[in-house]
A and B are shown apart, each in its own frame.
Chain A
Amino acid sequence: MPIDTVTIREPDYGPRERLYLRELVRGLLITSRHFFRNLFGERDLNSEVGERQGANLIATVSYPEERRAYPPGYRGMHRLVPREDGKPRCVACYMCATVCPAQCIYIEAGEYDQEGIEKYPTRFEIDELRCIVCGFCVEACPKDAIRMDTGTHSPAVLSRPLATFDKEALLKGPAVSHPTDAITYGKSRRGEPLKH
C-alpha cells in the first residue's frame, strides 16, 4: 500500500536569511513581545494555566502561596476509607498487597468478635517511598476500602521510616457506604443487625 508521505519543505533560505539580521530581528520581536506582555500585563492567577486570560503570558505559579489543584481522578496519597462508624472498610483480603507491583503494602489481619465481617486489618502499612502510584490497589479492592483521592501527594520526610504510614495515619477522609454493604457490614455473624 503506498503511504501518504510528503517531503518536508524547508523554509526559504536565501541571501536574506544568510545575512542573519532579518531573522535575528524577527526572533527578537517574538521574545520582546513576551517580555513586554509579561512585564506590563497583570498576571492572571487562575490556577488552570491553560485558561489564563489577559495580556500576560506567564505560565507558572508562585508555588507555596499559589497552588494548582489536582484534577479529579488524580492519584495522590492513599487513604483507608472509613465506614460510617469510623472503622476501616477494609476486610484484610490482601488484594491490594497482592496486586501491588512494588509490594509496598503490608497487612496483618485480625478478627472481629461479633460483626458479620470476620476479618479486619490489625496492621495496614503503606511504604510511600516504595509506592509507584499506579493505582492498582484501588482497582483491586473489592470493598472500596482504599482510595487515592486525598488530593495530596506523599509528603517529604526527613527519614525513611517516617514515610511508612500505618493504619491510623491512613484512616481518614469522609466515610463511604454502598448499598451492598448490607450484605456484610453491620450484622452479627448470625445475620442479625448489630446493636451499637
Chain B
Amino acid sequence: MLEQTMASESAPAEQDALSVEQELPTEPMTINLGPSHPATHGTVRIVAELDGEIIQKADVEIGYLHRGFEKSCENATWAQVLPYTDRLNYVSPLLNNVGWAMAVEKLLGIQDPERSQYIRVIAGEVSRMADHLTMLGAMSLELGGFAPFLYGMEARELLYDRITELCGARVTTAYTRIGGVANDLPPGWTDKLKGTLVKVAELREEMDKLLSKNRIFIDRTRGTGVITREDALDFGFTGPCLRATGVDYDVRKAHPYLVYDRFDFTVPLGTRGDNYDRFLLRVEELRQSERIILQALDQLPDGPVIVDDWRIALPPKAQVYGSIEGVMAHFKLIMQGPQIPPGEAYQYTEGGNGELGFYIVSNGQGKPYRVHVRAPGFPLLSALGHIVQGHMLADLIPTFDSINMIGGEVEQ
C-alpha cells in the first residue's frame, strides 16, 4: 500500500526506478512470535508476515493455556467452581469470584447481604487496580521503560498484600461464596487499605509522569493500534478498549450491580481508540477505582457478610460443632452442593478488561449443567490481527499490551 502511494506521487523518472525496484523478486518474511517470546506474557503465538518491518498479516493462535474450564465446571459443585474462576483472569481474580457468585445468586434469586456487597465492591476495585497497574507496567516494560514497570509492580504488590490479608492468598483468592463472602474484613484492614491507596497513588502519578507526556512514549502509542468505534463494536469489544474509542459502556454504570449505583464516579472515555488512549484511560480508571473504594469504605455498613440460609451457605461453625441441625445442613451442602433451581442465567459484571459474563445452566442438581464464560479478552485478542495489519512490527508490541490479553481467561 505504501509503495503504491509512493509510486503514484513520484515523478516519472523516479517511477521508472521504482518499477525496476518493484520487479526485484521479493517475498514477505514470515516471522513467528511466541508462544515463548519476551512480549507474549500469556502464551500466545502470533505468526506475522512482514514486508520489511510492515506487518502484512498477523495470525493470532491461542490454545496453549487451554485448561477446559467450562467442562471442568460440569464436574464440580456450584461452590467448587469458585477456585477455578481464580484461574481465569489471574491478574484480577477477585472480579471473577464476584462474577461467578453473582451469576449463581441470580439463578437462585437471592441477594447477598449489604455488607457483603460493599466488601465485594471494595475487593473487586482493589483487584481492578492491580489489573490496570499490571497492564500499564507491562506496556511500559515492553516499550523499553523498565522503571515505570517496576513502580507499577511495587504498587500492585502493595495491593496484593491487602488482598492476601483479606483472602489468604495473593492470586488464588477464592474469596466470595454463593450468597456472600468467605470472611469479614480483618481488623484494621480498612485503615491499612487507605494507607496503601496513598502509596499506590504516588507510584501511579510517577508512572504517569514518566510516560504520558514523554514524546518517545507518545510517538510509540499515539496513532498506533487504532481501532474504530464501529470495528470495536463489531468485534465485541467491552471495557477500557471499547471506552477508548468513545463508547460509554461500563457495566458498572450502564447496568449497575451490587451497590455501584451508590457511588459517585465517572467513566473516562477516549476519542481515538489507539494505544495512547487505552493507556491514559486506564490511568484515569485507577483514579476512579480509588474514589469508589474510599466512598465504599466510608459507607460500609455493619451486618452479616453471608446469607443466613443453610441451603446455600455453610452454617456457622458453632452450629456445626454443637448442633445436629448444623451438622446435617453442613454435610448436605458439602456432599451435594447448593441445589440451584433449574433454569439458566447470564450475569455480567465489569471485569478488568471488560464485560465478564457467566452464562450458566442448571438442571436442578448440585452441579452446573453448562457453564460458559464470556471472557472480555477473547474479542480483544481476536481483533489483534485486524488492528496491527499494515503497521510496523514494533507497533504490535504496545498493541498487544494495551488490549491486555490474559491467557487464562481467553483460553479458559
Whether chain A touches chain B in the assembled complex (some CB pair under 8 Å): yes
Contacts of B215 in A (CB 8 A): 13, 17-20, 23
Segment with Cβ contacts to B, from A71-79, A105-113, A116-124, A165-173: A71-79
A27, B186: Cβ atoms closer than 8 Å:
no
Name the one of B164, B172, B212 contacting A132, with C-beta atoms under 8 angstroms. Answer: B172
Interface residue B76 (Cβ < 8 Å from any Cβ of A) = yes
Name the one of A4, A24, A50 contacting B214, with C-beta atoms under 8 angstroms. Answer: A24
Name the one of B195, B196, B267 contacting A4, with C-beta atoms under 8 angstroms. Answer: B267
- Separation of A60 and B246 alpha carbons in the complex (Å): 39
A17, B270: Cβ atoms closer than 8 Å:
no
**A37 CB to nearest B CB, Å:** 12
**A191 CB to nearest B CB, Å:** 16
CB nearest neighbor in B for A10: B280
Residues A7 and B168 in contact in the complex (CB < 8 Å), given A17-B213, A20-B216, A27-B214: no
- Separation of A187 and B259 alpha carbons in the complex (Å): 51
A73, B213: Cβ atoms closer than 8 Å:
no
Residues A5 and B321 in contact in the complex (CB < 8 Å), given A13-B213, A75-B168, A95-B331: no
Contacts of A136 in B (CB 8 A): 79-80, 83, 174
Interface residue A139 (Cβ < 8 Å from any Cβ of B) = yes
Contacts of B276 in A (CB 8 A): 10
**B234 CB to nearest A CB, Å:** 22
Contacts of A24 in B (CB 8 A): 214
Interface residue A34 (Cβ < 8 Å from any Cβ of B) = yes
B209, A26: Cβ atoms closer than 8 Å:
yes
B80, A50: Cβ atoms closer than 8 Å:
no
Which applies to chain B's interface (DSSP): helix, strand, loop or mixed?
Answer: helix
Contacts of B250 in A (CB 8 A): 3
**B93 CB to nearest A CB, Å:** 11
CB nearest neighbor in A for B81: A101
Instruction: Name, among A3, A8, A13, A27, the residue most crowded by chain B CB atoms within 10 Å (CB to CB).
Output: A8
A142, B83: Cβ atoms closer than 8 Å:
no
Interface residue A144 (Cβ < 8 Å from any Cβ of B) = yes
Name the one of A8, A27, A49, A142 contacting B209, with C-beta atoms under 8 angstroms. Answer: A27
Contacts of B322 in A (CB 8 A): 179-180, 183
**A131 CB to nearest B CB, Å:** 10
- Separation of A51 and B195 alpha carbons in the complex (Å): 9
Contacts of A179 in B (CB 8 A): 322
B147, A4: Cβ atoms closer than 8 Å:
no
Instruction: Name, among B154, B169, B265, the residue most crowded by chain A CB atoms within 10 Å (CB to CB).
Output: B169
Name the one of B169, B210, B248, B284 contacting A75, with C-beta atoms under 8 angstroms. Answer: B169
Residues A133 and B284 in contact in the complex (CB < 8 Å), given A3-B253, A4-B267, A6-B269: no
- Separation of A23 and B216 alpha carbons in the complex (Å): 9
Contacts of A95 in B (CB 8 A): 330-331, 334-335
B157, A49: Cβ atoms closer than 8 Å:
yes
CB nearest neighbor in B for A142: B320
Interface residue B317 (Cβ < 8 Å from any Cβ of A) = yes
Interface residue B231 (Cβ < 8 Å from any Cβ of A) = no
- Separation of A7 and B284 alpha carbons in the complex (Å): 10
A7, B334: Cβ atoms closer than 8 Å:
no
**B220 CB to nearest A CB, Å:** 13
A4, B321: Cβ atoms closer than 8 Å:
no
Contacts of A18 in B (CB 8 A): 215
Interface residue B257 (Cβ < 8 Å from any Cβ of A) = no
Interface residue A143 (Cβ < 8 Å from any Cβ of B) = yes
A13, B218: Cβ atoms closer than 8 Å:
yes
Residues A135 and B269 in contact in the complex (CB < 8 Å), given A59-B157, A101-B83: no
Residues on A lying within 8 angstroms of B by beta carbon are 3-8, 10-13, 17-20, 23-24, 26-27, 30-31, 34, 48-51, 59, 70-75, 93, 95, 98-99, 101, 132-136, 139-140, 142-144, 148, 178-180, 183
16 contacts between A and B (CB under 8 A): A4-B267, A5-B267, A10-B276, A13-B218, A17-B218, A20-B216, A30-B209, A31-B210, A48-B161, A51-B195, A72-B165, A101-B76, A132-B83, A142-B330, A144-B321, A180-B318
Residues on B lying within 8 angstroms of A by beta carbon are 76, 79-84, 86, 147, 154, 157-158, 161, 164-165, 168-169, 172, 174, 182-183, 186, 192, 195-196, 199, 206, 209-210, 212-216, 218, 246, 248, 250, 253-254, 264-271, 276-277, 280-281, 284, 314, 317-318, 320-322, 327, 330-331, 334-335
